[in-house]
Amino acid sequence: MSNIQANALGTSSESPAVGSPRGLTIALGIGQVCAWGSLYYSFPLIAEAMMTELGWSKTDVYGAATLGLVLAGFLAYPVGVAVDKGYGRVLMGGASLMAGVLLAFWSQVDSLLGFYLLVAGLGALQAAALYEPAFAVMARRVGAGRARAGITAITLWGGFASTVFIPLVQFLLDHWGWRDALLVLALINGLICAAAYFGFIRPEKDAVHFSHADNVNTLTTDKEEVRATLHKPVFWLLMVALTAYAGAFTAFTFHMYPLLLEGGLSTSNVVWAIATIGPAQVAGRILISIFGSGTSMRRIGTFVVAVFPLVFIVLALRPSSMWVITTLCIVYGAANGIFTIVRGLVVPEMLSRRAYGAINGLLTFPSTLARAFAPVAAALLWSSTMSYGVVLWAIVVCATLLTLSFWLAAWTSHFTSAR
């Protein structure tokens, strides 16, 4: 069996330490835990500490996150194309090193302008550091049609990000403050993430290898495939669904800490409730990998999207019981964990098995913009009423749009098949 065939089947003859999908999966998984934890889940906790010390408003702080994610949105497509061309190692490893530098500078910031510049840079780097480029790297290693196991495993690792980093960041804030907490996060990116990506992403081990002439022809074909995909109604329906999901997910993620505190829970109870989301995500993904391995992402997604509006409707009714809220976080976490796998695999299953990075980059471009504006939009809504009630009902609307548009995409995709 050739090395290319072995890699595509996930049974490489190379040592697991360097060339196999298993080694790559573990490295990408560890990188995702650290990247999501340090670049995403830590922001609301550090933002609250900064606002207290520096006297900045909620809209000021979340506006910086918005700017960064807007930049990430515009970078999503070129990053996807670059990964398709085999530059995943340089992109993801370089982004981790740069993130470490920017986090270190953030720890010394005192001006709002400096804060905006640094956080905008960190937001832009997310385009090359989070799930989408990791999924594209895995798809290139084994082939998009065979990437389900690898993508599922990466999300299993990533599901621990909030569980590990929210308590860790809270501990650092309680004992050393937000500036030292950022220095710790800088070291995590510059050492752990960068080492994982530079050490294990090996483009020469990918399943697809071309001569220079063949590579030009393949890129041309990929461009044609992207253009053909843009004419499919399923693409646009999925884009609406993923955009609505991103808006709901990001607004809740960035504000769930102060949102739950506003509901009357203590800080320790809020941290506990939020910390259950990570294990619930992992549990949901494990259940799907065990019991849903033969089930299409179309069918799984159809069921799981219905959970989101139900969870947020109950939260909008503002239950005061810690156990009710913890249960909602667990259900939300499980649904979110499963849907992360769904969104990573809708391209090869429902659209195309070619040009995964490019198509996924286009598909998630407005999602990244939604992630950009959702935190500041939620902050503005909160400022208008000084309450998170209206924010929760806005999230309910987004979750309902997600459900309806994904159902329509799933129904429409029955009439087409990915090539």
What tens digit of pLDDT does each residue of 252-295 get? 987 888 888 887 777 888 888 888 887 888 888 888 878 777 78
| Stronger pLDDT, 340 or 5, i.e. the higher one | 340
More confident residue, 81 or 188: 188
- Residue 319's pLDDT band, with cuts at 50, 70 and 90, is confident
What pLDDT score does 221 carry? 67
* Higher pLDDT pick, 134 / 268: 134
pTM given for the model: 0.73
Residue 83 has pLDDT above 70, yes or no: yes
Which residue has 């970078």 as its token pair? 75
Tokens for 116?
Answer: 């905006």
Alpha helix segments (H runs only) across 107-232: 112-125, 131-142, 148-158, 161-175, 178-187, 194-200, 212-229
Structure tokens at 383: 């400022």
Give the position of tokens 């990053």.
79
Kindly indicate whether the domain formed by 16-199+222-412 is annotated with CATH number 1.20.1250.20: yes
Quote the CA–CA distance of 122 and 116 in Å, as a whole number. 10
Per-residue pLDDT, averaged over 238-260, amounts to: 89
CA gap 330, 281 in Å, rounded: 8
Higher pLDDT, 183 or 416: 183
What CA dihedral angle connects 378, 382, 387 and 392, to 10 degrees? -20
pLDDT digits (tens, 9 = 90+) for 196-215: 999 999 888 876 654 444 44
Cβ atoms within 10 Å, residue 112 = 15
* Per-residue confidence (pLDDT) for residue 30, from 0 to 100: 94
With 50 as the cut, is the pLDDT of residue 7 above it?
no
Q: What is the pLDDT of residue 23?
A: 86
The pLDDT value recorded for residue 415 is 62
Output helix, strand, coil percentages for the chain, rounded to the nearest 5.
80, 0, 20
Nearest by Cα to 37 from 188, 171, 201, 261: 188
If you average pLDDT over every residue of the chain, what do you get? 83
Of 402, 2, 34, the closest CA to residue 193 belongs to: 34
Instruction: List Cα–Cα distances, 149 to 23, 132, 350, 402, in angstroms.
Output: 13, 15, 17, 25
Rg (alpha carbons) of the chain, rounded to whole number = 21
For 324-381, the pLDDT digits (tens) are 889 999 999 999 989 988 888 888 888 877 778 888 888 888 888 888 788 778 888 8
What is the per-residue pLDDT across 32-51, written as a single tens digit (0 to 9) for each? 999 999 998 898 889 889 98
Question: What are the DSSP calls for 84-132, one per residue?
Answer: HTT-HHHHHHHHHHHHHHHHHHHTT--SHHHHHHHHHHHHHHGGGTSHH
**Which pLDDT value is given to residue 357?**
80
**pLDDT (tens digit per residue) in 8-35:** 333 333 334 444 578 899 999 999 999 9
